[in-house]
Structure 1
Amino acid sequence: MKQNLTVEAALELVLQKAKPLQSIEELPLVAAYGGILGANLSSKVNHPYADDTAVDGYACLEVDAQGATVGNPVRLRVIGQSPAGKPFAGTVGSGEAVQVFTGAPIPKGANAVIRVEDTLREGDYVWLMKPATAADIRRRGDDLVLGQTYLYRGDLLTPGRVGLAAAMGYATLPVIRRPRVGILSTGDEVVEPGEPLPYGGVYNSNSYSVAGLVLEAGGEPVILPKVSDSVEGIRTQLQRAGKLDLLITTGGVSMGEYDIVRQMLELEGEIHFWKVRLQPGGPLLFATWNGLPLMGLPGNPVSAMVTFLLFGRPFLFKLLGRTDPPYQQIRAVADTAFEANPTRRAYRRAVLRWENDRYHVATTGNQSSAVLNSMAVGNALVVLEVGRPARAGEWVEVIPFPGAGL
């Protein structure tokens, strides 16, 4: 068992055990939102399918409208209309125009369009106050070309990408099955929210904060009933969990006699590493139990969330084969000082904002790993290398929280 790894070394071992999922399900467009695309998609159509107009106005021959001005307008005879979905069937000849509406195909014979606001209608004729041009004609295939690939396996299906898939002609999408992630809290002191809280007890926040992180990362959280501090209890829950792609436990991975997750794995599993040189979250454990990857997060609420962000989220991204990175890292100006750790890389909770053309970041205050409120008011982590604090005014490395909207 490896111990006291760097963040990079621990992450490498975690990703080695993440085998991309191959199971694909075909979902209707609405159900596919937020999923991960399971295959490359090429367009089934050209879009526009024909040259069309980007504006309401009149289509005509460009040569007929040359030199038109307000003081010297050009008069053309209107021979029909071309609304979107009802193309004009005839041909535009010299001295003629067809009224067109946005999205309508350009009638045969016409090669220019003038906007309606630059015309004056008079019965069966229209006066052009400016020259008609091809500037407002959208060419066939300008957006999508038949047979060209626009979406790729591993793409997150955002509203824009689902809309693009619909425009390409797809009614359903191949979506990679969401990985099922079991979440198990340990500890006799853990009590479910809503129940009376006994002396020495603590409400089970870890299961629900981690479940939210799993869901946001593209997984399907499966919250398992809590177990007491006994190896038999945790073994029973693991056996009842069903088919999982990852098991996350919170608590029970440190050095005490009641840290039964680590004790059970020492007897029945394979521990790949225990303890990482970071703060918070040092006692992170990663193992395999009966072929199931198991990530033992620390019991402190902040430690559990930070270690999931740094290790659990990348694990799920690799399972899903996602094309986007699990998190980004940016630079910001520190508005407050941040204290380093003398022996471990520190991740300090902070509030990140954009102001005066740059990012600024300030501490949330108390950095104890038990202060869960800091994860509610904060939206980023400031990354401090070993023994290197940051003073106010210095540039620092920052990891924004997923979904922070920055």
Structure 2
Amino acid sequence: MSLLKLENAIDRCLKEINVRDTINIPLGTASGYVLAENLSARRESPPFDLSAMDGYAFKHSPHINENHNLSLIGKSPAGTTFARKVKKGEAVKVYTGSVMPSGTDTVIIQENTKTNASDIILKKIPQKNENIRKKGFDFKTDDILIRKGTKLTPKHISLAASMNHTKLVVYSKPKIAIISNGDELVEPGSKDAQNKIISANNYGIKAYLEQLGANVTDFGIAKDNVKSLREKIKKAASHDIIVTIGGASAGDFDLVKESINRELELKFWKIAMRPGKPLIYGRLGEAHFLGLPGNPVSAHVCSQLFLKPMINKFMNFEDENLYITEAKLKTSLKENDERQDFIRGFYKDGFVTPHKVQDSSSLSVLNSSNVFIIREPNAPSKKIGEIVQILKIDF
């Protein structure tokens, strides 16, 4: 099977995906979901003219000058309504968020006043309507404030609550299963962790996919035999995507094929990219099957390039999947071969420095990188100061 171009491989995955059904969920659980309908305000905010400061509310007049006296007739704490209409020459003590008493239109901050028995003296005259939050200034009833297709964050949840919503219609999150594969793997903290390879990819990839909005279940480590891998995959059958980590390279793929040979509808295996060449994609019944390479950098790169857009499509989130920009090289690069290359690098102030070590097993280099330098197939060499494309690492 010939190597498939990266963009063609991504397209093949995405065309197989249908947007998930919508669900109606409590507002407090909606963060991370994608809104399935426009959200309009069920009230105006604020619902009354409110004081924006602690001070005194009064009726403004062009005849009021500095050192003018007003008669203090009471106070109006936030959440209450003052009992009577305020007349000219009178003032009411108000607080931030207090409903403006009837008959008043201006608030003078308390720092600009002096008190004298039951009077206040105005030391500095505010402008008319100063320190007032007018009724409906933030939003009005039926204003559409959050659009369909928005991925909800804490600020959206606060706004929706202020709009008087208790439930939201959203797209359900895709369910993703992760299965690690290899006799050499052990869990962190295991008694033989010093002599074997710690299974680390599943932890980072699970966290990344949850950050993107998916519901993720880690099914643990499958041994290098058909029975173990097949049992894990069978348990994960109800998930939207089944992700295996390891067992995708040339010799190991035979195990994966043998484990699910009858069920797997293979769409492609191996793509023209580095790292991440031995990627597997196919269908297992209704589930999407993605076999990631076992090398940590390869697995994480493929997660950003493939799983991110797959999750976005499931949730009908029309995000820009690849944040590609440009930077100037701080060191030269040699010409590239026939595979698209994602070189780990560090970007700062318009310049990018590729790391000297590009081994696909090095998590420490990946951790100290914030971008991938994208090298197209057969790209010519680049000199210091020349422009290259970069992709922000978002995991």
Structure 2 length normalisation: TM-score?
Answer: 0.89
Contact 2:180 2:199 in 1 (8 A): yes
Deviation at 1:337, TM superposition (A): 3.8
Q: 1:273 matched to which residue of 2?
A: 268
Aligned in 2, Cα 1:25/1:232: closer, same or farther, shift over 3 Å? farther
Q: Does 1:238 align with 2:229?
A: no
Contact 1:59 1:107 in 2 (8 A): yes
Q: Is the 8 A contact 1:41 1:150 kept in 2?
A: yes
CA contact (8 A) 2:331 2:383 kept: yes
- 2:312 is paired with a residue whose SS is helix
Cα separation, partners in 2 of 1:329 and 1:135, compared to 1, 3 Å: farther
Contact 1:42/1:149 (CA < 8 Å) preserved in 2?
yes
Q: 1:118 to 1:290 in 2, by over 3 A?
A: same
Deviation at 1:258, TM superposition (A): 5.2
Shift of 1:232: 4.2
Shift of 1:265: 5.5
Deviation at 1:307, TM superposition (A): 0.5
Aligned match for 2:119, one of 108, 116, 125: 125
Aligned with residue 58 of structure 1, among 56, 59, 63: 56
Q: Is residue 92 from structure 1 mapped to residue 86 from structure 2 by the alignment?
A: yes
* 1:332 maps to amino acid: A
Mark the CA change 1:57 to 1:389 in structure 2 (over 3 Å): closer, same or farther. Answer: farther
Verify the 8 A CA contact 1:32 1:173 in the aligned structure 2: yes
**Does the residue aligned with 2:290 lie in a helix, a strand or coil?**
strand
Structure 1 residue aligned with 2:206: 211
One-letter amino acid of the counterpart of residue 365, structure 1: K
Are 2:370 and 1:375 aligned?
Answer: no
Q: 1:248 to 1:46 in 2, by over 3 A?
A: same
8 A Cα contact 2:173 2:315, kept in partner: yes
Q: Deviations over 1:214-236 (max 9, x none)?
A: 22211122122433334444333
The 5 Å alignment of 1:306-317 reads 306-317=301-312
Q: Report how many aligned residue pairs link the two structures.
A: 393
Shift in alpha-carbon separation, 1:171–1:307, aligned structure 2, 3 A? same
Counterpart CA distance in 1 for 2:373 and 2:390 is 4
Q: TM-score, normalised by structure 1?
A: 0.87
Letter in 2 for 1:155: T
1:182 is displaced (CA, Å) by 0.9
Contact 1:253/1:262 (<8 A) preserved: no
* 1:277–1:172 CA distance, 2 compared to 1 (3 A): same
CA displacement, residues 121-170 of structure 1 (integer Å, 9 cap, x when unaligned): 22222222224421322221111212222223442222211111221223
How much is the aligned-residue C-alpha RMSD, in angstroms? 2.6
Q: CA deviation at 1:25?
A: 5.0
CA pair 121-65 structure 1, distance change in 2 beyond 3 A: farther
1:137 is matched with 132
Amino acid at match of 1:279: R
Query: Is contact 1:36–1:156 with CA below 8 Å preserved after alignment?
Result: yes
1:174 Cα offset (Å): 4.3
Aligned counterpart in structure 2 of residue 349 of structure 1, from 336, 344, 347 = 344
What is aligned with 1:46? 44
Residues 184 and 43 from structure 1, CA distance in 2 versus in 1: closer, same or farther, beyond 3 angstroms? same
Q: Who is 2:12 aligned against?
A: 13
Q: Which amino acid aligns with 1:27?
A: P
Question: Does the 8 A contact of 2:187 with 2:193 survive in 1?
Answer: no
Distance in 2 between residues matched to 1:220 and 1:328, nearest whole Å: 24
Moved more, 321-330 or 292-301: 321-330
Q: Among the aligned pairs, what percent are the same residue?
A: 31
Whole-Å separation in 2 of the counterparts to 1:83 and 1:334: 61
Question: Structure 1: any 5+ residue segments left out of the alignment?
Answer: none
1:48 CA displacement: 0.5
SS at match of 1:375: helix
Equivalence for 1:190 = 185
**Residue 78 (structure 1) shift:** 2.2
State the distance in 2 between where 1:378 and 1:226 align: 28
Counterpart code for 2:31 = Y
Kindly indicate whether the alpha-carbon contact (under 8 Å) linking 1:382 and 1:397 is maintained by their aligned counterparts in 2: yes
Match of 1:36 among 19, 34, 37: 34
Moved more, 301-310 or 95-104: 95-104
Q: Aligned to 1:316, what secondary structure does the other structure show?
A: helix
1:269-298 C-alpha deviation (Å, 9 max, x unpaired)? 222222222111112121001221111111
Q: Does structure 2 conserve the Cα–Cα contact (< 8 Å) formed by 1:60 and 1:132?
A: no
Q: Structure 2 vs 1, CA of residues 184 and 50 (structure 1 numbering), >3 Å: closer, same or farther? A: same
